Each structure stands twice: as C-alpha cells, then as structure tokens.
Structure 1
Amino acid sequence: MTGGGRGGRLLSGPGDLNAPTIRHLGRRIWALLRNYRGKLAGTAVLVLVGSSLGVAVPLLTQRAFDDALFPHDGGVRLALLAQLVGLMIALSIAASVLNVLRTYLTTSVGNKVMADLRSQLFSHLQKMELAFFARTKTGVIQSRLANDVGGVASVLTNTVPSILANTVTVISSLAAMLLLSWQLTVVALILLPFLVLLQIRIGRVRQVIARRTQESLSDMTSITQEALSVSGIVLSKVFNQEAAETARYRAENDKQLKLQIKQQMTGQWFFGSVQIVMSVTPAIVYLSAGWLLTQSWPITAGTLVAFTTLQARISMPILSLMRVSLDVQTSQALFARIFEYLDLRPGITDRRGAVTLPAGTIRGGLALENVSFSYSPPPVTGEVTWALENVSLTIGAGEFAAFVGASGAGKTTLSYLIPRLYEATRGRILLDGTDIQNLTMESLRQNIGMVTQETYLFHSTIAENLRYARPSATDAELVRATKVANIHDRIMSFEAGYQTVVGERGYRLSGGEKQRLAIARVVLKNPPLLILDEATSALDTTGERLVQGALEAVMADRTTIAIAHRLSTVISADRIFVLDRGQLAEQGTHEQLLADGGIYARLNLAQLRSAEDLAG
C-alpha cells in the first residue's frame, strides 16, 4: 500500500475500522448525500406510504376471513368480500407503482453521488505532487477510481433504500403483529437477538476479506495496465516473456477468485440457518396458537392467517436487513480506501497570499540560492542523500543556458524544481527576483514550457494533442507552430492530416516525429521561459539539425534552459553549467570550459572520440 503526501495518513488495514472510524465514515457518507436531501426525503415518504400499504393487506385479509368468509352469524358476505378483495388489489397495485418511483429516485441519487465522488477523487489526485505518482502504480490509482468507487455504488443505489424500506416494513409489520397477538409475536421473534449477534461477528470477517479483495483488484489492474500497454507488449515480446506475464496475471487472478468465493460464501451457513428458522416459524406459531386456544385465549382463524401473513412478510425483510448489514460492513472497507486518498494532502500547494503573475510581465530571469534537494525524506539520524546540494547560479532574462553532466548528476531534477513539480528541500529559486514559492503554481506554470525526455501524446488526433497547450488555438496557429518544429510537411503526408489519430502514447509516430510534435506543442504555448530536457534526444543527425535550427528561432527573446547529453547541441549557449554528483562544478561558455580543461573538456573529448569510433 502506497503512502500519502506530506502529513497524509493511510489506513493500515481493516483493524483501523473501529467504532470512532465507522462513525466518522458515516458522517462523511452522509455529507455526500446532503445535496440530494429533497430526493431522499421524497424516497422516505414513498417508502413509508408503500410499507403502510403493504401492512394494510394482511389486516384486510383478517377481515376477509372473519367478517366475509366465516362471519359469526354464518353464511358468506360476498359483497363485503368483493370490496375487500378489490381494495387489496388496488393497494397492491399502488404499492408497486410507489416502488417503481422509489427505485427511480434512489437510482438517480445513488449514481449522481457516485459520479460526484469519482470526479472529486480525480480532481483531488490532479492536485497531488509529482512524487506521489512517482511512487504509486498507475494501476492502483485506476483501481481506486474504478473498482473501489464502483464497489460502493450499490450501497447508495440499492443498500440504503433497502435498509429504509425493510426497516419500515419490519417495524410496521411488528406493530400489526403485536396488535393481533403479542403472545404469538414473542414466539415468532424469540431467536432474533441471537441471529443478530451472529451476523455482527460474520460482518467483521467479511470486512477483512473485502479489503483484501480490493487490494487484489488493484494489483490486477496494475498488471493489466503495465503488461497490456503498447510499451509493455513490446517489452514482453522482445524479451519473450509473454508466458511469464500470463502466469503473473493468472496467479493474481486465482487469488482474486479465491477471495471472491470466500467473500460470497462467508455467512452462507448463517443465512441458511436464518431461512430455516423463518420457514419453520409459521408451524411453531400454529402449534402455539393451538396451545393458546386450549387455554381459552381468543384467537380467530382470520387473526391466525393475518398473523402468519405478516410473519411471512417480515421474513424476507429481516433476512435482507441481515444481508444488507453485512454489505454495509463490507462497503465500509471500500469507503475507507476512497476516503484515505481524499484525505491525502498535496505536498506542494500555494502559500497563503501567493501572488499571481500578470500575463506578459515575465522577463525570465532565474536565480538559485543554495538549492538542495533530496528525493527521500530527511532521516532522523544519518546523512541525507542529496540529488542536488547547495547549487547557486544565475541565468539572465533571455539567455540560453545549458546544463550538462553525467547521468544522475541532477540535471533533470533541477528542471523539475523550477516549475515546482518537486519542491526544493533547502534554498530558494527566484524568478525575476521573486521566490517561486510566493507565486501561484497556476500562473508560474503558465509561463513555463517544457519538452521532457519522454514525449507523451494522447490517443487522439494530432490537432487535439497540439491544442492541449492552448485549446483556443486556431488551425493557422497550429500550422505555424508545426512549421517552426519542422513537422508540418510530415503531418500533411498522412491521409487525415491534422486529424490523424496518433495511437496510444503516439505509437504510430517515430521517436523523432513525436519529439517534434512536443516541440510544436510548446511553441503553441509561447511561454517566456522554456525548458528543454534532452529535446532532441530521439532525433537522428538530420532531424536534430532541422529541429536545432527551428529551436534557435523559438528561443529568441525568451529564457531557455537546455538539458543536454550531446554537447554539440549546446555549443552556442550563453552559459553552460556543469553538474557533477548534484553539485555545480563548472560554469562558462563552451570555449571557456574547454580552455579550463575540467569536467566539461573531458566530456567533450570523450564524445569526440566516440563519434570518431562510430565514423570509423
């Protein structure tokens, strides 16, 4: 189970669902229903009226027996019998109509609440910091949105109305039974308290199983997401691991099967016992009625028929309430899993009083003051593992700055700190002299454009992928952006042009084409600060030359930070910063750093020799 953001606490397991926790869950579930109080009130009225009509039918049956079929003065009163039967039919029809209306209201409310909950959860996850997604499997998150939310849907669409309807039915029927004969009522319900206690114990067991079942579903979703994505399929095929992936999924599927069977079967012997008790109760009632008659208690045939009708009428509601009670206890584990995500606090948020950057006012000057960053929380004891340590530097507005260094030196990490995808552990980052932590994240990121190492495209058209940067962009603006990135002609070579669907993660396009689309997308955004993280890494020499020429036009009049592995792409940089194991080791122009004969010079020499070896 993955942990939360700073200060966020996840429930450790079913043992957390103690009485205070359950009461807290109840209040939060009610809060979800609060906006639908009108429909809920209407549902309650329909339930009350429908249940009352249901109780009236057995009472009319008593009159039909005692006053119409077997009156004290003898003979059959056919007219009265016809009236009573007609009334029973009318009440039954009315009860059915009310039940349809009640079902509509409950289904409407339940599904709307589920839609609200799913949207709320998705919106909250959008606010979580990048670190949360870096340590959490995508499949686990998908499972929370799909399996967990879907798992509690029936609680609001079926379970809650069922509890209300069955409770009213049981109470009204018991009241009628007591009116008919309190002695027979005692006989009919004498075993009920013992059954309730047993049901509570079974519910606790099912609660544990339900949580394990959802965790297994999360694992299955994660395996599916990883193994059946385009990248996952390619990986499994080229390494000949299809059988291994199938075996991994089958193992988790078998585990899920066993848990589902265990969850369904837990308590079935209990329900079988309850059904036996309910089934034999009328016979016991008949026997008790016979004994009462021998004791001169006045019980008529109509009373006995009405009583057993009512007893039969509450049998299913009582059994249903016990089943529903188990479902509610099971769903508590699912609600807990949903709320534990909603309770996570984003690790990076706007400070109180954060300033919004006015559009068009950003010049793009950057300064880092003793910036340090660690991906791991600082330990209580021992040394911190720093990805960046005490980095101080200045980049002037409109400058082209480059960061170079060996893999793992901290180049990409630094690029993540500028738009606050991660927060600096120590030190400050200033944009035009203002601490970026004092700016709203929305306005900060609105003024920053990034082209990352891994180009991400949606399974949509080229035009829609481009407009992700600026939804209001016109077709002419799309064309201008793609021409800058030297991808327009390639797009027009497709039969559907800009309406070409690129496939999942842009799989229909080559690496270079995807990279140029990403560059066109950031060109369309037109930010004053541009970050290029290995922006030409997927291009061949010809493609790199084309895009480099295009980027020179894009970089004009804006601050550009380029993270580069190939030093040939940053020779023209105004300033080159060399990172080594998280620290700033050197800085200067290409010529200055070569003359210094330090790390940069050694990197340049190694790349030249590598190029010569390839050419040879």
Structure 2
Amino acid sequence: MTSAATRQAPAVLDTSDQERKVPLRRIVALFRPHTWLLALLLVLVVGQAAFNVVAPFMLRAIIDRGLPERNAVLITWLALGMIGSAVAAGALGVVTGQLSNVIGQRIMHGLRVSVYGHLQRMSLAFFTRTRTGDVLSRVLNDVGGVDNVVTNTASSLVQNTVTAGAIVVAMLLLDWRLSVLALLVVPLFLAMTFRLGRQRRALSRRRQGGLSALTTLVEESLSVAGVLLAKTMGLRDELVRRFSDQSKQISDVELAAVMAGRWRLATRRVALVVVPAIVYWLAGIEVAHGASLASIGTVVAFSSMVNRLIGPISGVQGIGQNVSVSMALFGRIFDVLDLPVDVDDRPGARPLVVTRGEVRLTDVSFRYEGAERWTIEDLDLVCPPGSMTAIVGETGSGKTTLAYLIARLYEPERGTVSVDGTDVRDVTLGSLATSIGLVSQETYLLHASIRENLLLAKPDATDEQLRAATGAARLHDLIEGLPDGYDTMVGERGYRFSGGERQRLAIARMLLRNPPVLLLDEATSALDTRTERAVQEALDALSEGRTTIVIAHRLATIERADQIVVLHDGRIVERGTHADLVGLAGRYAGFLRPAGPRSGEQLTAG
C-alpha cells in the first residue's frame, strides 16, 4: 500500500534552458558495446597515420641524397614510395570512415531505441503533463543533433590525435629544436577552444528548447484536428504569427551560435599560418648564414610536416566545439532516460493468468497529482466472472479514472485492484494488457491500412479471422465494398472513416485480441442513433462470455447490465439492477428523462 506521504514524485520532462552536467563516462558507455570494432578502428588509424608521415622522410632523402648524387633509381623508388604511401593512406581513410560510420550508426540506433522505449514505459499521467511536441523534439531533434558527434567525432578525435602524435614524433626525429618552437603555441589553442565551448553549449540548449516549442506548434496546428480548429475559428493568421515569432527566436539563436567566437577562430587560423612562417624564417636564416641547424632537405621536410600538423590540430579544435555543443544535447537526452517510471513491472512480476475473470476493487482511493480532493475514495466493487457492470454518474464523478485503475494506467494511492484474486501490480504489464481490453470513445488508428490496424491486436491472424472479427463488428461488408478492401488506408488517426466506422474497427481489433475482461468507456455516447445501434450490436458480440465493465449513458446499454454502479464524487452511492435503482427513486432515477425513459435514450448524467 502506498500512502500519500510516500507517494513518488511525478515524472516531469525538464524544458528549462538550464544546462545539465553530463558525466563523460555516460557518453563513453555508449561506445562500450563496440569495443572490438573500436580496437580495429584504432589499428587502421595508426596505419593511416604512419603512411601519412612517411612521405616527408622520403622527400628529405630525395633532396639530401637523390638530387646531389643524381641517383635516378633512388629518386624513382622514393617518388614511388611517396605515391604509394599517399594511396595507402587514402584507402585506409575510406575504410576508417566507413567503419566509424558503422559504429556511430549502431550507437545512434541504440540511443534512439532506448529513448523511444523508455518513453513507451512512461505512465499515462506523464503524457497528460507533457506536450507532445516536447516528446517529439527529444526523440527526433535532440537524438538527431548528436548524430554527427557520435558518428564522426569519436573516430575523428582518434584519427586526428594519432595523426598529430605521429607527426610530432616525426618532427622531433627531423629536428627537435624546430619542433619545440612549432609546438609552443598548441596548448594556447586548446585552452581557447574550451572557453568557446561553454558559450556554445548554452546557445545549443536554447536552440533545442526553441525547436521543441516549434515542433509542438507544428504538431498541434497541422494535425487534422488542428487544421479544423484553425479553419472553423479563423485562426490561420494567428497561427502563422505564432510560428513566425517562434521561428524568429530560433533564427536569432542560430545566428548567435554561428557568430560565437568567430574572432577567436580567425585568430587561431592566423596563428596556425604564422607558426610555420616563423619556422621557415628561422631555418632559412640559419641556413643562409651557413649554420648547421638542419639540411635543406630537413627544412623542406619539416615544413611539410608543419603543414600536415595544421589539419589535425584544426580538426581537434573543431571536435572540441562539436563536443561542447553536443553536451547540451546529451543532457536533454539523458533527461529522458533518467525519468522515473511511475507504473512499471515490479521485481518478480509474473504473467497474469485469467481463469474466471472476476474483477475486484478493495478500499481503492486515488487522486491526481496536485489535487486536494480524492477522485476515487474508499471504493469497494466486485464484478463477477462473465457479468456486465455499468458505471454511471455525473461528469467528474470518477468513471473513466475507475476504468484506468483497473487497466493499471494509473495506480491507486490506497487499496488494491485485483483480477481473480491477483493484485494487478504483481503481474506484468504485458500480460495485463492482453487480459484486459479497453475500448474508449476516442478511437486511435495508425496511418496505415485497415489490415495493418487490425493486425496490431493479433499479428498472426488469418484472413478468415479478420473477416470473422469485422463481420461480428458489422463492418465486413463495408470494407469489401471499398476499392482496396482490407488494404484501404485509414488516413491520419482514421479520419477517412466516420466515427462509427472507426469505433467498429476498434471493436473488431479487440475481438481479434479476445481479452477475458473488457472495459468500455463511453464507446457509443457521441454517435447518432442509427450508428449507435450498429456499434451496440458489435459491442454485444464483443461482450459475450466476458467480464464487461461499461461506462455509458445509453439506457440500451445500461439497463441490460447485471449490476449498475452509481458514482458521486468518487464514491459508490447506489448499486443494483436497473429495476432496483428505478424503484429506489434515488440518484439513478433522477438521471432518467422526465418524460419516461425508453430503450436507446440517454441518461442526463455526465
């Protein structure tokens, strides 16, 4: 039992601009499953770096030995060696690039699946507190934003570091005095990179927050429901203005990010050119005065080495910028991965095996986060196996919440919900979803074919089973009359079909799933009388032989129930059959129309 005092704080997605510190070990851990591929990459990079530094030594030999000795054979072999080393380095560059992308894309795939999978584990309450656009932004924008870092940065860092190290070693072998002079300024470059990185991280987080808000606006305003709202309320200009304002904010942040540290970057580029020039000048002065600082071949080879060093150093600096920016994105990604799961499988949870189908609620109390008043309070209810229980009451009395507690979309703060004597918190969520089917007024269909939507319930269903389910749902003839039959696309959220047709598709889908316990949450309240009758026939077929709990306003549904439960302010105030409650002349009787209820009419409650 969970008390109000020990209730876990709700999971909330952080949408502020405050930067979250991410330990580097968490990012490194993403690469750990690919250790052997990384080791192979390192070997290839070392080989590529070795081939890259061979050419200057051959160039020195050509100048110091081949040309003075006029040894054509030696010059030819050394020239061929320079060509061969360049070809080998280029080929290894292609291979290392492909391997690094393989590693990166595998990491990106795992990261995307981890974020999406964790969000799928989050409770319904989390999504009622979180904008859909914020969730989409984390899955698409943030994860996509680190793609370049994960795919290229790690390999580039290794490649540039190894290459720079090999070049430094080669420079020291050529002339250690010139090398010391050339390398004095490198630490200053790296320090400037880190200072610039902090500024860009803050801008990156602001940019992602803006993209999140923009994604929310697009998702809400360009959905079918959003377009209908805009057209019927004349909101087109207002929505365009909001989009323009949000886009302008993102553009301003993008501009600030591009211009951040431009003068510092320009200064570093100049310095990387100045350093080789100073080396050339000093070496030239020494040679001109006849000093033995270095041979002409050494100076030329060393100059080549310095030029080769500029690329890796610039690469390392660019990597520093990318990593700094991506740290903000990793912080937003780990915000998602670290969200506590409100409703999850308990340790030792076992599959639910339904033998009879009895549903029992014992002393159940529940209230939504931040609410002072109980939505459900001290509720006791038994739904016998194979029976139909109707739940009625005013809007806000707790009817839908009761259904969600049974399906464990929420968990009671006090008390237990059990199926065949087993607490639903002690069974796996997967087996509970298989055993308890929920059909609500809001039917959700994927933008896919009728067949694909039906197969969500039973992927291995045969065509005969599909036809049997749609036949029982009074939908088979309609589908057969469509040009593409079961391969007809249902459209975004099923909007190509009427409300009654979408509802019958959901019922057919539930018939395929065949759960022993069925929850019907106002499945016909928004339908016209003719459509309601067709859907009600489908619901009757669906309810047969199952424990059914129905939340409805139609007397045609309610009066056939084995028991009717009347809720008021989260408590059961009346229960009994239709005849019993009419004779009681209490709250239920007050819901009936004054002119006298007839089958098919609607209660005034809710």
Q: Indicate how the Cα distance of structure 1 residues 606 and 471 shifts in structure 2: closer, same or farther if over 3 A, else same.
A: farther
Q: Distance between the aligned counterparts of 1:14 and 1:77, measured in 2?
A: 68
Q: Distance between the aligned counterparts of 1:17 and 1:315, measured in 2?
A: 34
Q: Distance between the aligned counterparts of 1:550 and 1:15, measured in 2?
A: 53
Question: Given the alignment of the two structures, is residue 104 of structure 1 paired with residue 92 of structure 2, yes or no?
Answer: no
Q: Is the 8 A contact 1:418 1:429 kept in 2?
A: yes
Q: Is the 8 A contact 1:9 1:340 kept in 2?
A: no
Q: Distance between the aligned counterparts of 1:607 and 1:219, measured in 2?
A: 52
Question: Given the alignment of the two structures, is residue 199 of structure 1 paired with residue 197 of structure 2, yes or no?
Answer: no
Q: Is the 8 A contact 2:360 2:380 kept in 1?
A: yes
Q: Indicate how the Cα distance of structure 1 residues 511 and 76 shifts in structure 2: closer, same or farther if over 3 A, else same.
A: same
2:161 alignment counterpart:
167
Question: Given the alignment of the two structures, is residue 604 of structure 1 paired with residue 602 of structure 2, yes or no?
Answer: no
**Which AA in structure 2 matches 1:40?**
L
578-587 vs 306-315, which deviates more? 578-587
Q: Provide structure 1 residue ranges, at least 5 long, that are not aligned to the other structure.
A: 379-383
Question: Given the alignment of the two structures, is residue 43 of structure 1 paired with residue 41 of structure 2, yes or no?
Answer: yes
Pick aligned residue for 1:374 from 351, 367, 374 = 367
SS of aligned partner of 1:164: helix
Give % identity.
42
CA deviations on 1:330-370 (whole Å, 9 max, x unpaired) are 11111222122112231112223323223xx4312122111
SS of aligned partner of 1:102: helix
1:468 alignment counterpart:
456
**Which AA in structure 1 matches 2:331?**
A
Q: Indicate how the Cα distance of structure 1 residues 35 and 321 shifts in structure 2: closer, same or farther if over 3 A, else same.
A: same
1:325 alignment counterpart:
320
Q: Distance between the aligned counterparts of 1:248 and 1:11, measured in 2?
A: 23
Listed as ranges, the matches of 1:121-160 within 5 Å are 121-160=115-154
1:354 alignment counterpart:
349
Q: Distance between the aligned counterparts of 2:538 and 2:40, measured in 1?
A: 65
2:269 alignment counterpart:
275
2:392 alignment counterpart:
404
| Per-residue deviation, 1:51 | 0.7
**Which AA in structure 2 matches 1:346?**
V
2:174 alignment counterpart:
180
Question: Given the alignment of the two structures, is residue 487 of structure 1 paired with residue 464 of structure 2, yes or no?
Answer: no
Listed as ranges, the matches of 1:422-441 within 5 Å are 422-441=410-429
Q: Is the 8 A contact 1:404 1:577 kept in 2?
A: yes
| Per-residue deviation, 1:222 | 1.6
Q: Distance between the aligned counterparts of 1:297 and 1:11, measured in 2?
A: 65
1:91 alignment counterpart:
85
Q: Indicate how the Cα distance of structure 1 residues 607 and 189 shifts in structure 2: closer, same or farther if over 3 A, else same.
A: farther
SS of aligned partner of 1:543: helix
**Which AA in structure 2 matches 1:274?**
R
**Which AA in structure 2 matches 1:54?**
N
1:381 alignment counterpart:
none
Q: Distance between the aligned counterparts of 1:333 and 1:128, measured in 2?
A: 23
Question: Given the alignment of the two structures, is residue 443 of structure 1 paired with residue 438 of structure 2, yes or no?
Answer: no
Q: Is the 8 A contact 2:143 2:333 kept in 1?
A: yes
Q: Distance between the aligned counterparts of 1:197 and 1:9, measured in 2?
A: 37
Q: Indicate how the Cα distance of structure 1 residues 512 and 500 shifts in structure 2: closer, same or farther if over 3 A, else same.
A: same
| Per-residue deviation, 1:15 | 6.0
1:58 alignment counterpart:
56
Q: Distance between the aligned counterparts of 1:362 and 1:248, measured in 2?
A: 55
2:243 alignment counterpart:
249
**Which AA in structure 2 matches 1:529?**
V
2:502 alignment counterpart:
514
Q: Distance between the aligned counterparts of 2:332 and 2:419, measured in 1?
A: 40
Q: Distance between the aligned counterparts of 1:431 and 1:236, measured in 2?
A: 45
Q: Indicate how the Cα distance of structure 1 residues 132 and 608 shifts in structure 2: closer, same or farther if over 3 A, else same.
A: farther
481-490 vs 411-420, which deviates more? 481-490
SS of aligned partner of 1:584: strand
CA deviations on 1:220-245 (whole Å, 9 max, x unpaired) are 22222111111111111111111211
Q: Distance between the aligned counterparts of 1:482 and 1:179, measured in 2?
A: 81
| Per-residue deviation, 1:12 | 7.9
SS of aligned partner of 1:605: coil
Q: Distance between the aligned counterparts of 2:593 and 2:570, measured in 1?
A: 22
**Which AA in structure 2 matches 1:312?**
N
Question: Given the alignment of the two structures, is residue 336 of structure 1 paired with residue 331 of structure 2, yes or no?
Answer: yes
| Per-residue deviation, 1:410 | 0.7
CA deviations on 1:117-173 (whole Å, 9 max, x unpaired) are 112222222211111122122222222222112111111221111111111111111
Pick aligned residue for 2:212 from 218, 227, 249 = 218
Q: Is the 8 A contact 2:100 2:155 kept in 1?
A: yes
SS of aligned partner of 1:369: strand
| Per-residue deviation, 1:199 | 1.4
Q: Is the 8 A contact 1:362 1:447 kept in 2?
A: no
SS of aligned partner of 1:478: helix
Q: Indicate how the Cα distance of structure 1 residues 339 and 79 shifts in structure 2: closer, same or farther if over 3 A, else same.
A: same
| Per-residue deviation, 1:488 | 1.8
Q: Is the 8 A contact 1:9 1:343 kept in 2?
A: no
| Per-residue deviation, 1:196 | 1.9
| Per-residue deviation, 1:512 | 0.9
Q: Distance between the aligned counterparts of 1:444 and 1:15, measured in 2?
A: 39
Pick aligned residue for 1:76 from 70, 85, 101 = 70
508-517 vs 425-434, which deviates more? 425-434
SS of aligned partner of 1:421: coil
| Per-residue deviation, 1:510 | 0.5
1:315 alignment counterpart:
310
**Which AA in structure 1 matches 2:368?**
Y
CA deviations on 1:46-102 (whole Å, 9 max, x unpaired) are 111111111111111111111122x3xxx6333322221111111111111111111
1:501 alignment counterpart:
489
Pick aligned residue for 1:305 from 284, 300, 305 = 300
1:30 alignment counterpart:
28
| Per-residue deviation, 1:430 | 2.0
Q: Distance between the aligned counterparts of 1:343 and 1:313, measured in 2?
A: 44
**Which AA in structure 1 matches 2:445?**
L
Q: Indicate how the Cα distance of structure 1 residues 607 and 572 shifts in structure 2: closer, same or farther if over 3 A, else same.
A: farther
CA deviations on 1:574-598 (whole Å, 9 max, x unpaired) are 1111111222221111122222222
| Per-residue deviation, 1:483 | 1.9
2:377 alignment counterpart:
389
| Per-residue deviation, 1:35 | 2.5
Pick aligned residue for 1:262 from 256, 263, 270 = 256
SS of aligned partner of 1:392: strand
**Which AA in structure 2 matches 1:336?**
G
| Per-residue deviation, 1:377 | 5.3
SS of aligned partner of 2:593: helix
| Per-residue deviation, 1:533 | 0.6
| Per-residue deviation, 1:252 | 1.5
Aligned length: 593
233-242 vs 33-42, which deviates more? 33-42
| Per-residue deviation, 1:7 | 7.5
Q: Is the 8 A contact 1:364 1:431 kept in 2?
A: yes
Superposition RMSD in Å: 2.3
**Which AA in structure 1 matches 2:333?**
I
Q: Is the 8 A contact 1:106 1:156 kept in 2?
A: no
CA deviations on 1:480-511 (whole Å, 9 max, x unpaired) are 22222212222222122222111111111001
Q: Indicate how the Cα distance of structure 1 residues 606 and 464 shifts in structure 2: closer, same or farther if over 3 A, else same.
A: farther
Pick aligned residue for 2:440 from 443, 452, 462 = 452
Q: Is the 8 A contact 2:386 2:547 kept in 1?
A: yes
Q: Indicate how the Cα distance of structure 1 residues 507 and 15 shifts in structure 2: closer, same or farther if over 3 A, else same.
A: closer
Q: Is the 8 A contact 1:399 1:558 kept in 2?
A: yes
Q: Indicate how the Cα distance of structure 1 residues 514 and 15 shifts in structure 2: closer, same or farther if over 3 A, else same.
A: closer
Using the size of structure 2 for normalisation, the TM-score is 0.93
Q: Indicate how the Cα distance of structure 1 residues 479 and 9 shifts in structure 2: closer, same or farther if over 3 A, else same.
A: closer
210-219 vs 308-317, which deviates more? 210-219
Question: Given the alignment of the two structures, is residue 189 of structure 1 paired with residue 189 of structure 2, yes or no?
Answer: no
